[in-house]
Structure 1
Amino acid sequence: MRNFDNLPILNKSTLFELLSSRFDAEDKKLSQIPDPALLYDASKAAKKIADAIRDKKRITVVGDYDVDGISATAIMVDFFRQIPYPLDTIIPNRFSDGYGVSPNILNRVDTDLIITVDNGISAIEAAEICKQRGIELIITDHHTPPEILPDAYAIVNPKLSECCYPFEEICGAQVAWLLLGLLKKELNLSIDMRSFLDILCIAIIADIMPLKDINRTLVKEGLKVLMNSKRPSSIIMKDFLNKNPITSEDIAFQIAPRINSAGRLEDASIALEFLTANSTNQAYKQFERLNSLNEQRRESEAQTTKEAIEMVESLPDIPQIIVVAHEDWHEGVVGIVASRLVERFERPSIVLSIKDGMAKGSARSLGDVNIFELIKENSSHLSKFGGHKMAAGLLLEEIKIDNFRDAINKTAQNIEPNDFLPKESVLGILDIEDIDLELLALLESFEPFGEANSRPKFLLKDAQIVDIKLMGSDKSHSKVTLKKSQNTIKTVELVAFRTVLEMPKDKKISCNYTISKNEFNSKVSVQLLLNKIY
């Protein structure tokens, strides 16, 4: 068990102060979101799109197959429908097209103007082909720019060194939405930009953007819009979640994986058709397909995770950077499996799927280790790579895997050991007597929780177990009744999902947990959710 001697003993007042200190200032209002014109090239891009519309030119949006890219494309589709103006969309297929606007994609496109969303910052070859064919190219992206940029008409990316937008940690869908705000002005339209927030907030949460500053505002407002939206897909999501209010974690754990599953296992167009459906009937059909794909994804992910863990555990020593590869692994789940390895071994992890002599995969990091920079320093071994500090994608020849593994681990020796420490966010110890509905209301006032505003974890030390019951049709979940000590009366319930717990000999438990609302038969109670046993 880690040393938790330094953890503070918390009450409601000290907890409020601790959570308040996460934010520099009061939440921004929507009206305080910085002017999109501060995004480098955004005004130039908006004028070009407006001219293309006036001149009745053909416009094509090229998206990406993750939630952010699909959401960005869906927002574009909805906006152009409201003009109304015809818009072609292409979301690359992960398996046959690869990532982003590529020469492969351009072979299928007959257009005058291409707008990329959530991709394109590394598309040097595609930009050249566009130039040769007389296609104007506008790139909107948020990934880390390479040293050499594509030769495009405009590049809108908050991470460009020339860009002075005051908050750069925004996702691809936000960049697209901000650009459309400028296009609305250019064309003098009366479209309500708030109407897209139900989709936008899903992208921000799913792409693990820090829930601070404007991101916090957009997610808060977006979840409200989602609750009242007449958009068919939002109605289906609301019915599926069947709760009020909907939280950022509902989106992260229930909605985002389903939208993601289309691109991971089959084709992201299924998810795009869901988000842009014109009727609830059509949205429901697509959502059923997403549910089915998500089930397949979970099965594939569980099997791959099991095999990857066994592979790591068979090593004589666990390296600082885990790199595992296998031929039978589905490339659509390697990113999730990399995250599972990070959780299990507390090391940055790279998981590769091998096919036809090429290894394609995903990297995930932890602590303060910048996995993108590590990969970039060893890019001589790679055919292709891209991403950001905590997550990246890469492609290399199978015969180069061993050399790459050795090289990246050699580079990692220069990193401070403390950078590898996971950011364990156990805030402190709460007295069981303090765990009540008032505490729940206090925590809810700091929603939405997510990246850079994690749901608080608390420590239980040697709590007395009164009873353990197994729940669920397959008895795979545990409900534990606890009290502070043998002599106290008040009890609380601790729920451990996908965990079968047995009564320990000393009838005590030490763990960290989060606090959640349990609603059953119109009765609200507080329940603790097990995170980790010590």
Structure 2
Amino acid sequence: MQNFLKKLRFDDVPILDKASLYELLNQRFADEEKKLSQIPNPSLLHDAPKAAKKIADAIREGKKITLVGDYDVDGISSTAIMIDFFRQIPYPLEAIIPNRFSDGYGVSPNLLKRVNADLIITVDNGITAIEAAQVCKERGIELIITDHHTPLDTLPEAYAIVNPKLSTCSYPFQEICGAQVAWLLLGLLKKELNLNIDMREFLDILCIAIIADIMPLVDINRTLVKEGLKVLMSSQRPSSLIIKDFLNKSSITSEDIAFQIAPRINSAGRLEDASISLEFLTAASTNQAYKQFEKLNSLNERRREWEAETTNEAIKLVNSDDTIIVVAKEDWHEGVVGIVAARLVEHFSKPAIVLSINNGIAKGSARSIGNVNIYELIKQNGHLLTKFGGHKMAAGLGLDEQDIDAFRIAINESASKLNSDDFKSLDEVIGILPSSEIDIELLNLLESFEPYGEANSRPLFLIKDAQILETKTFGKESSHSKVTLRQFAHEKKSIELIQFKRVLDIPSEKKLTCSYRVVKNEFNSRVSAQLIINKTYNY
């Protein structure tokens, strides 16, 4: 049935030229693109003016301020932006990013044991830190929470909570990441202290956070990423210079950040300690930044190996009848379960939850697909969990090992009430491109709709029943595929497609149906269109 539906849908796919493609992509943006000057006033964020005044007062009074971040890219970027800002005041700031393995997530009673401060500011965490807030109150520490994750029904007792998802918040655009909340708050602090700091100079780090945290690239996010990538290309920040040198391109795209840079920054917190990434982003010299980036490269290689091994094991444990995948195993590395969940989503086209069990306690991550709000599904079954938090597309959770089966059954029961359309991947093919349309002009057209990412995915095109002329493998251990084919019998021009990390199974009839995306390839100063296979279909 599934293949039949795909066939029906593919029969309706239009043949496009550049003019019709432009119209299709233009429809994604109903409103005129915002300028930086049109970003809504940070004072509209609930408690933000109050928080900025409190931080300014603490600086004037010489109080000790401690920042508590998070170990993912968003949390590390938030922390790096705050450190850079405080360096420019200048004012001493103690910055702590919890260790995933010894501290757990965010500001916590355990972490507070090693904090001695008058004021604690959280970035990208804290909205569920009810117990930690109570500890701060008992110790006379004032607490300012800045976060973007979905609040629970009960909020921590803090001096100020700055979070666009609070019901009391009137900020006009909710879908911003933790680094954006921190950056907007710093804009108010700049005014409070009457500082001459250009807030645009942080956009190189800020755009990395927005992309890595899979924020929808519309409205102000689109503006900030677009401008941030420009700042990244011109910035003299040591970490930005290293990123530019590593990517070695005339222009950097959001996908370069998503697939090349974000995984490396993430790898430190996943496998060892996020301080390695923080030291990279805040390095004072290119030499120091380079040393940290080399460590991140090494950690990322190790992460890939563990991820591949765990993904293979996880696939074997999946119950194919489940709507929501829930898999668990003893001693899976806690740092890779989130990526493995994403791989399962890709493989099965279903939301996935992957749990690592250690001493009877299961901790893990969830990833979603389409319009399924995985956080809400988890919340509906929160009575079976010891903790949870997150947002629509990704979440973290913990529970006792003995409750895993009950949770799997319960969350699938909750999911059965959803509309089946919610589970459809939003990455649908938009049309068929004749081979003659694939050229430099097409690259320029596609580039005009950058940045691509969440809510503005790079368009996928369809090749249907194309004649395979030649196939090759290439790369390390011949793990990548290259296929030359002719789309239509009447076409003279052949095209070449690449699929990374997979050896293609060639159908006996030598015909291929697949979706693919078109990207700019730069090699030896030569620019060409590269066609990368997204999925192959057999029906």
Instruction: Give the TM-score band, short-chain normalised.
Output: over 0.9
**Partner in structure 2 of residue 529 of structure 1:** 532
Q: Is the 8 A contact 2:79 2:123 kept in 1?
A: yes
**Partner in structure 1 of residue 373 of structure 2:** 370
- How far apart, in 1, do the equivalents of 2:225 and 2:329 lie? 38
- How far apart, in 2, do the equivalents of 1:373 and 1:357 lie? 25
Please list, as runs of the form range in 1=range in 2, the aligned pairs for 1:218-237 lying within 5 A after superposition.
218-237=224-243
Q: 2:482 aligns with which of 479, 482, 506?
A: 479
**Partner in structure 2 of residue 405 of structure 1:** 408
Q: How many equivalent pairs are there?
A: 531
How far residue 41 of structure 1 moved from its aligned partner, in angstroms, is: 0.5
How far residue 98 of structure 1 moved from its aligned partner, in angstroms, is: 0.7
Please list, as runs of the form range in 1=range in 2, the aligned pairs for 1:251-290 lying within 5 A after superposition.
251-290=257-296
- How far apart, in 1, do the equivalents of 2:479 and 2:183 lie? 43
Note the alpha carbon deviations across 1:135-192, whole angstroms, 9 max, x for none: 1100000000111111100000001111111111000000000000000000000011
How far residue 421 of structure 1 moved from its aligned partner, in angstroms, is: 2.2
How far residue 502 of structure 1 moved from its aligned partner, in angstroms, is: 5.6
Please list, as runs of the form range in 1=range in 2, the aligned pairs for 1:340-379 lying within 5 A after superposition.
340-379=343-382
**Partner in structure 2 of residue 194 of structure 1:** 200
How far residue 343 of structure 1 moved from its aligned partner, in angstroms, is: 1.2
1:16 is paired with a residue of what secondary structure?
helix
User: Alpha carbons of 1:460 and 1:273: their partners in 2 closer, same or farther (altered >3 Å)?
Assistant: same
**Partner in structure 2 of residue 509 of structure 1:** 512
Q: 1:120 aligns with which of 108, 126, 133?
A: 126
Deviation larger for 342-351 or 414-423: 414-423
Matching residue's letter, 2:102: S
Confirm whether residue 436 of structure 1 aligns to residue 439 of structure 2: yes
1:9 is paired with a residue of what secondary structure?
coil
- How far apart, in 1, do the equivalents of 2:299 and 2:107 lie? 25
Q: Is the 8 A contact 1:211 1:448 kept in 2?
A: yes
1:527 is paired with a residue of what secondary structure?
strand
Tell me the TM-score normalised to structure 1 length: 0.98
Matching residue's letter, 2:192: E
**Partner in structure 2 of residue 318 of structure 1:** 321
- How far apart, in 1, do the equivalents of 2:75 and 2:207 lie? 13
**Partner in structure 1 of residue 59 of structure 2:** 53
**Partner in structure 2 of residue 43 of structure 1:** 49
Taking only the aligned residue pairs, the percentage that are identical comes to 73
In structure 1, list runs of 5 or more residues that go unmatched: none
Note the alpha carbon deviations across 1:505-530, whole angstroms, 9 max, x for none: 33321110000112222222212111
1:319 is paired with a residue of what secondary structure?
coil
- How far apart, in 2, do the equivalents of 1:276 and 1:243 lie? 23
Confirm whether residue 79 of structure 1 aligns to residue 85 of structure 2: yes
**Partner in structure 1 of residue 217 of structure 2:** 211
- How far apart, in 2, do the equivalents of 1:409 and 1:9 lie? 39
How far residue 503 of structure 1 moved from its aligned partner, in angstroms, is: 4.9
**Partner in structure 2 of residue 423 of structure 1:** 426
- How far apart, in 1, do the equivalents of 2:491 and 2:462 lie? 18
Confirm whether residue 243 of structure 1 aligns to residue 249 of structure 2: yes
How far residue 26 of structure 1 moved from its aligned partner, in angstroms, is: 2.2
Matching residue's letter, 2:375: F
- How far apart, in 1, do the equivalents of 2:447 and 2:133 lie? 47
- How far apart, in 2, do the equivalents of 1:99 and 1:518 lie? 39
Note the alpha carbon deviations across 1:328-380, whole angstroms, 9 max, x for none: 20010001111111111122111100011100001111122211111111111
- How far apart, in 1, do the equivalents of 2:419 and 2:374 lie? 14
- How far apart, in 2, do the equivalents of 1:508 and 1:64 lie? 48
- How far apart, in 2, do the equivalents of 1:512 and 1:441 lie? 21
In structure 2, list runs of 5 or more residues that go unmatched: none
Q: Is the 8 A contact 1:492 1:527 kept in 2?
A: no
Q: Is the 8 A contact 1:64 1:99 kept in 2?
A: yes
- How far apart, in 2, do the equivalents of 1:503 and 1:123 lie? 53
Deviation larger for 477-486 or 382-391: 477-486
How far residue 412 of structure 1 moved from its aligned partner, in angstroms, is: 1.8
Off by >6 Å, runs of 4+ in structure 1: none
Q: Is the 8 A contact 2:249 2:522 kept in 1?
A: no
- How far apart, in 2, do the equivalents of 1:432 and 1:425 lie? 20
Q: 1:452 aligns with which of 448, 452, 455?
A: 455
Confirm whether residue 171 of structure 1 aligns to residue 177 of structure 2: yes
How far residue 486 of structure 1 moved from its aligned partner, in angstroms, is: 4.1
- How far apart, in 2, do the equivalents of 1:406 and 1:500 lie? 36
Q: Give the RMSD, CA atoms, in angstroms.
A: 1.1
How far residue 307 of structure 1 moved from its aligned partner, in angstroms, is: 0.2
Note the alpha carbon deviations across 1:255-280, whole angstroms, 9 max, x for none: 00000000000011111011001111
Q: 1:392 aligns with which of 386, 395, 411?
A: 395
1:10 is paired with a residue of what secondary structure?
coil
- How far apart, in 2, do the equivalents of 1:411 and 1:502 lie? 37
- How far apart, in 1, do the equivalents of 2:416 and 2:76 lie? 38
Q: Is the 8 A contact 2:427 2:457 kept in 1?
A: no
Matching residue's letter, 1:213: D
**Partner in structure 2 of residue 13 of structure 1:** 19
Note the alpha carbon deviations across 1:407-466, whole angstroms, 9 max, x for none: 112222212222222224211111111111111110000000000000000000122222
Q: Is the 8 A contact 1:478 1:501 kept in 2?
A: yes
How far residue 483 of structure 1 moved from its aligned partner, in angstroms, is: 2.1
Q: 1:181 aligns with which of 187, 193, 212?
A: 187
**Partner in structure 2 of residue 295 of structure 1:** 301
1:430 is paired with a residue of what secondary structure?
coil
Q: 1:495 aligns with which of 488, 494, 498?
A: 498
Matching residue's letter, 2:280: F
2:356 is paired with a residue of what secondary structure?
strand
Matching residue's letter, 1:303: E
Q: Is the 8 A contact 1:271 1:290 kept in 2?
A: yes
Tell me the TM-score normalised to structure 2 length: 0.97
- How far apart, in 2, do the equivalents of 1:397 and 1:33 lie? 44
**Partner in structure 2 of residue 158 of structure 1:** 164
Matching residue's letter, 1:90: I
Q: Is the 8 A contact 1:127 1:151 kept in 2?
A: yes
Q: Is the 8 A contact 1:466 1:483 kept in 2?
A: yes
2:40 is paired with a residue of what secondary structure?
coil
2:197 is paired with a residue of what secondary structure?
coil
Confirm whether residue 137 of structure 1 aligns to residue 140 of structure 2: no
**Partner in structure 2 of residue 30 of structure 1:** 36
Confirm whether residue 106 of structure 1 aligns to residue 112 of structure 2: yes
